[in-house]
Every structure is written in structure tokens, then in C-alpha cells.
Structure 1
Amino acid sequence: MDKITRKTSFGQWFSPINLKTFEEQVKTMKLDYYTKKLSTESFLKLLLFSQLTEVESLHALGDCLFDDQLQKEIDLDSISVSQMSRRLNGLNPDLFQILFLDLVGKIHAKTHHTKMVMPLKIIDSSTLPLNLTNHRWAKFRKTKAGVKLHLRLVFMEKGISYPEKAVMTKASEHDRGQLEVMVDDRECMYVFDRGYLDYERFDRMTDDGYFFLTRLKKNAVIRKVYDFKIPDDSAVLSDQMVLIGTTQNRAENYFRLLKVIDSRGNLLQLITNRFDLEPDEISDMYKSRWTIELFFKWIKQHLNIKKFYGQSEWAIQNQVFIALIVYCLHVLAQLETESKQKTLQISRYLKAALWKPAHIWIRKIEGKAIP
């Protein structure tokens, strides 16, 4: 990061966002044509601030504008709740998704894979509950409403992982239906849980040159074809070439089945179409799947995606994409400073130094003394 700057810490944190691309999208979508006060850029900064500081409602967000420094940063001294609500419900989520993907591209450019045989991309989903009374469009049970965030997470060494692709659906959407949307890169290894189990799609992925690793259900029908030799010091119980499925529902390709014991003592049956790796490498790759569970836990605990500001589908999606943008900005700060601090600590330092000169925050996350 550039240490010779007059930016506030918030301004420095925000700086990876490409405002030129953003302004082009705003013009294309004609979002500021009839706007007198709340420009889309000011609203973006306000929403990022609300996520960063975990503001609970639009009413509370409006009250935050009593802060002179926030007014100066976003070029806005006051705004009504109704104006913010109209903006949030009326903005096409594609705008924030484009920003999110642009930041993902910046993270890609700053990361590289070293010891990993190939990049790991973990796929999973998490349901975000909604109030049924206010979100009838998201009903998926008699008394429940919700949306589902389908996510692809890039797993990196040195403790860095980041979201790469996100799709929002109603909670009633099954995970299996999103697998093909999430799989588009032949130069990686996809890791996902048994919620995505689909033998026909496993065949299609194998035939198309995509690598995957998942686990079978306990009652899966398996026919052993060959036993591979396991190294003496391996934690893997067995390593086999198998055919999977019944006569009516059977995969055509041969797969590799490994049996391992997890940390809780449960037997796991891991299935993959990679035959060139050591059994313990496969086992370690599957253990990495836990990273996405930790990611979902992190954003639910430290970002604002449990209480939603709006009731429309667009409003919900906008708030989720803003949360993902916040996380990506934290990752970029971590990468640019080569900081060993965890994402949560970077976020805490930022909130503590929000309107102070950027160099104070930068030195703090670099682990250097502040003069």
C-alpha cells in the first residue's frame, strides 16, 4: 500500500474499488439520472460503512450521518430513510456483483499457488433466514422464508481464502442445480459435500475434463474394481478404483474411493476422479472443505447479513453482495501489506482508525509501531 497518502483509513481501504468502472455502469444503467441528493457512489460508500460497522437498520444508518467525518467521506450530510429504502430496493444487484467480481480479479492477480498440486475451489451454500411476513416471495416452508447463498471459495495456503463466485437463489433451490453454474475451470480441483451428489453430473464433469472431490452417502452402492496400495504411514484406511450406483442409476466412469476417519471418529467415503495423487493428499484436500464453513460463520458473525434493510429480492441481494465486497477489501488489505494479521483483526483495526490518516491503519496491520 502507498504510505504517502492523505486518505483516511476508510478511503485507503475503499481505494481498490474501480470507480471508473463503477461510474460507467451507473451511466449505462441510468441510475443517477433523476437523483438530486443520494448519488449511487455515496450510497455505495454508505452501505460499505454500514456493513463494516454492523449498523442494524436504515434508521440507525441515517443517524450515523450526524458524524461530520462520515459526511465528508461520502459527500452527504443527511438522508431520509425512505430515500435509502427506495435506492436499496431499486438498484439492480448486477451493479454490486460487477464490483465484487472486479475485486476478485484483483485478488487473483496478487495471489499465486505454490505447493498445492492445483488450486482448490470449494463449493457450498448457506441459507439466510428471512421474516415470512415481509418476504412472502421467499417462502420455502409453511412458516419459513429464506434465500440461499451458493458460493465458490478459493482455498489458498498461508491462511488466505476468498469468495470467487456467488449466486443467490430462493432457499427452496436444491444445491445440485447450481453445481454446473459453479464449475467452469479445468485448471483446479473442486471440493464439495454430498449435497451435490449426482452420478450423471459426475460423469459429465469427468468427460469434460473437470476434477472433483466429494463424499458418498453411507448407503451408496459401490462395486470394487481394484485395490491400490496404501503407504505404511498413511492415515487412509483404503484406496480403491470403483464403479458407483445401481443398475438404474449408475455412473459410467471409474472413480477412486478412499475411506478415512474424520476428527470426530466418523467413517467418510471420499470419491474423486483424480488418480495421480497420493491418498493422504486427497484426504487433506477434503479437510480443506471446512474452510467454507468457517467463511459462512465469519460473515454471519461479523458482517450484516442476518438483519436485512429491505424486503425485495433485489434489496436482499444488494446487501449480501456488499458484504462480500467488504470481505474482499479486507483480503486485499491483507495481501497488499503482506500482513500476518487475520481478517477479523484487520477489520477491527480499521474500525478503530476509520477517520484517522491511512498510514496509522497500514502500520498497525503491518505489525509496525506507530510513531
Structure 2
Amino acid sequence: MGHSSTILNQIASFFPRHDFEKLARKHHHGQKFRSFNRWSQFLAMTIAQLTSRKSLRDLVSNLAVQKSRLYHLGMRPTSRATLARVNEQQPYETFKAMFFQLLHKCQANAPKHRFKFKGKIYLLDATMVNLCLSVFPWANYRKTKGAMKLHFGLDASGYLPVFMDMTEGKKHEIEWARSLNLPAGSCVVFDRGFTDYTWYETLDKRKITFVTRLKSNAKVYRYGNRRKPDSPDVLEDQKIKIPGYQFTFRRIIYVDPETGIEYQFVTNSRKLKASEVAAIYKERWQIELFFKWIKQQLKVKTFLGTSENAVLTQLWIALCVYLMLSYFKFMAKFKGSLTQLLRLLQLNIFERRPLADLLKPPDKPGKTQFSPQLALWN
């Protein structure tokens, strides 16, 4: 039987060591390490994500048991105090920069979105993570409650997070959205929480298509002729204007055939069919599923440090792990879900076997051939 390194060792090869060391030197703070390094920190926190460790003590105990299998990864001996100190003091920008390097690698292999729209489609939303104010005093939200808000922009091609920011819980989504550098020719999809007509006008001037929903109390008036609906589920496709603004929208009134609920969509696109606008907005649900997945499967709700830097370090490493899982899914053409892929890696993380064999689909059961020797037992 040929030699195989552990699954964890093969996972670590996804993150090139020489590229990581360049980033670690660029973002290092303070004195040089004597018996520890940023690579050991990264691998330890990655193992915490993959194996769902509950605390630093739990993580360090797990690493100690697997010491003989971690040696070839280049990991230094890791203590709870050292790991806690490095998470608190060393800048999280190392892992943020690493994330965007890996994102480029993933995007090159991600499947294209399923719509006829030629440009990129970005799904925007934010989610709240509640925190204890006495433990995380920097996370101001209410008088007796702490929270932080995670803002995400998901690429519909492969559902990869291409924009991410962490702010205090009070910051509104639209403030973050205005700061995004969205490319011309792309499409951005968001819910009614991002309503800002001035921002809509800015997107239109920058040749960026948007798809959203109209607020129920919005004051609009019809402008020009109606378009002929391209689907029986489309009740109206009409140009509209907002009082006080010069530019025009398209309002599409659509009835979901499954639920019978009526929706009013707003877009600045003049080319997309009304039914496709509805389908693109429905795609926004994928970012809700993304939030649910990372909160349930990765450690982004409970943290192994209390400072803002430690929290951001853990978040960026969690996103790097998400990219790793997505990349393996793309390359192996894994038919299962990301949850199934994660469970498969968790159960075999210290096993010595080729990763490609682990991810390939099982052989289809064939017909059982009759053996003459079986007749001896009759």
C-alpha cells in the first residue's frame, strides 16, 4: 500500500506555506517569536473550526493527543496561554489578506451562476451576532446588551463571500453598502433594508444593475407605457418614478405560483425579462442559507478570545475554511452538500489516505457474479 499523508496535511497544502509566511512577515507586530509562529496559530485555529472545539483548553488538549500526526505540518508546540496571547495581539490582517488570495483561486474554479445575465451577481445582506457586553465591552449595541453585525456580499457564482465587514450592531446596512466598490456591469441584489433612492441613482449612473423590493409605503407614480408580461405570474411591468428624483425604475408585480404571495420588485434593468428579475431576487435566499450554515457548522457565534482582534482573527480563518471546502467541492465535483463534505473531513481528518479517494463518489453497485465455490455450501 502506497504512503499517504493525513487528510489534515493535504488540507494544509491548500494554503501555500511560502505565501502565508510573506503575509505573516508583512503584518507581524512586536518582537519575533522564539518558540511559536503564525503558521502554528493558523493551523491550530483551522483545526478548531474543522473539529468544532469548544474552548482553547479543549483545542490544546486535542492537539497534544495528536502530536505525532501534527509534526510534519510544521506546527510548533502550542499552549493555551501562547495561543490566546497571539490571537489577542497579532493583527488579523494576515488572515484577511490570505482570504482574498484564496478567494481568487476559488473564483477561477467556481461554476457560473445559472442566469442569462452576463456580469457578476452579488447578494447583499447582514446578520447580527449577540455578545455579552461584560465580556466583549467593545461591542456596544444597547445599554445592557452587546452585539456585532456581519455584512456580507455573496457571489452567486459558487456562493463565495467576496465582501465582508464586521461593525458594531447599531451600524445600518446601507452605510456599509455605500462604501462597496462594485464593478460596472454587475448586478446587486438586496432586500428592503437597503432602501436608499440616492444610492439607487448612484448605482444606475455607475452602470450597475440592482434588483430589490419596493417598500409598501413607497410613493411612486407610473411613467410611460406598460411592458407586455412575459409570464402569467407577472401581473404588471411598468416604468415608475419617485417624487424628487429624475431617474426611472421598473416596477414588476409578481405572484409566486407556489405560495400565491404578491411581490413588488424594483430594478433599473431595461433588458432583463420580468420573470428573470423575480428569479434573480429569489436567489437572494442563498445568502440567508449561507448565514445559517456558517453559524451552525463553523465557529462564528462563540469565540476563543474576547478582544476585537481575536474575534476578527477567528472570523477570517472561518471564512478561509469555507473557501477551502468550496474549492474541494468544485474540484472533486462533489455531489453532496457542504455539510456532508465537512462531516466527511471531520471523521477522517487524521486518517492516512488520499483526499481525492475520500471525495470521489462511491462505486455503483454492480451485478453479483456467481461463484462455483458457493455451490459447495448448498
Q: Could you say whether these structures have the same fold, taking a TM-score greater than 0.5 normalized by the shorter chain as the test?
A: yes
Give the structure 1 partner of residue 228 of structure 2. Answer: 229
How far is 1:70 from its partner? 4.9
- Distance in 2 separating the partners of 1:213 and 1:196: 11
How far is 1:264 from its partner? 4.6
- Computed over aligned residues only, the root mean square deviation of the Cα atoms, in angstroms, reads 2.1
- Distance in 2 separating the partners of 1:18 and 1:194: 41
Q: 1:192 aligns with which of 186, 190, 213?
A: 190
Note closer, same or farther for the CA distance 1:221–1:5 as it changes in structure 2 (3 Å cut).
farther
- Distance in 1 separating the partners of 2:154 and 2:250: 24
- Distance in 1 separating the partners of 2:319 and 2:76: 27
- Distance in 2 separating the partners of 1:228 and 1:146: 46
Mapping 1:334-353, distance limit 5 Å: 334-353=329-348
1:126 equivalenced with 2:120 (yes/no) = no
Note closer, same or farther for the CA distance 1:114–1:55 as it changes in structure 2 (3 Å cut).
closer
Deviations 1:163-207, CA, capped at 9 Å, x for gaps: 112111111111000112334212321101111110001111101
User: Relative to structure 2, which stretch is displaced further, 283-292 or 206-215?
Assistant: 206-215
- Distance in 2 separating the partners of 1:273 and 1:41: 47
Deviations 1:227-280, CA, capped at 9 Å, x for gaps: 21113x432221111012x4xxx3321011111234554432211110101111
Mapping 1:278-293, distance limit 5 Å: 278-293=273-288
Note closer, same or farther for the CA distance 1:358–1:202 as it changes in structure 2 (3 Å cut).
farther
Which has the bigger relative contact order, CA under 8 A and spacing at least 6? 1
Mapping 1:31-42, distance limit 5 Å: 33-42=31-40
How far is 1:127 from its partner? 1.0
The answer to whether the 8 Å contact 2:60/2:78 transfers is yes
Mapping 1:147-226, distance limit 5 Å: 147-156=148-157, 160-225=158-223, 226=225
1:252 equivalenced with 2:246 (yes/no) = yes
- Distance in 2 separating the partners of 1:77 and 1:180: 43
Note closer, same or farther for the CA distance 1:107–1:9 as it changes in structure 2 (3 Å cut).
same
Mapping 1:1-371, distance limit 5 Å: 6-30=4-28, 33-65=31-63, 66-76=65-75, 78-113=77-112, 115-116=114-115, 117-118=117-118, 119-156=120-157, 160-225=158-223, 226-231=225-230, 233-244=231-242, 246=243, 250-262=244-256, 264-359=259-354, 361-369=355-363
Task: Look up the equivalent residue of 1:351 and give its one-letter code.
Answer: Q
User: Relative to structure 2, which stretch is displaced further, 316-325 or 23-32?
Assistant: 23-32
How far is 1:21 from its partner? 2.1
Larger gyration radius, structure 1 or structure 2:
2
The answer to whether the 8 Å contact 2:239/2:250 transfers is yes
- Distance in 2 separating the partners of 1:34 and 1:114: 45
How far is 1:281 from its partner? 0.5
Task: Look up the equivalent residue of 2:245 and give its one-letter code.
Answer: A
The answer to whether the 8 Å contact 2:185/2:207 transfers is no
How far is 1:5 from its partner? 7.8
The answer to whether the 8 Å contact 1:12/1:358 transfers is no
The answer to whether the 8 Å contact 1:234/1:279 transfers is no
The answer to whether the 8 Å contact 1:32/1:39 transfers is no
- Distance in 2 separating the partners of 1:307 and 1:220: 39
Give the structure 1 partner of residue 374 of structure 2. Answer: none
Task: Look up the equivalent residue of 1:174 and give its one-letter code.
Answer: H
- Distance in 1 separating the partners of 2:113 and 2:321: 27
Note closer, same or farther for the CA distance 1:26–1:46 as it changes in structure 2 (3 Å cut).
same
TM-score (norm 2): 0.89
Note closer, same or farther for the CA distance 1:167–1:60 as it changes in structure 2 (3 Å cut).
same
Note closer, same or farther for the CA distance 1:17–1:187 as it changes in structure 2 (3 Å cut).
farther
The answer to whether the 8 Å contact 2:255/2:262 transfers is yes
Note closer, same or farther for the CA distance 1:364–1:318 as it changes in structure 2 (3 Å cut).
same
Task: Look up the equivalent residue of 2:106 and give its one-letter code.
Answer: I
How far is 1:22 from its partner? 1.4
Note closer, same or farther for the CA distance 1:74–1:337 as it changes in structure 2 (3 Å cut).
same
Deviations 1:11-39, CA, capped at 9 Å, x for gaps: 22232223222111212233585212221
Task: Look up the equivalent residue of 1:364 and give its one-letter code.
Answer: L
The answer to whether the 8 Å contact 1:10/1:358 transfers is no
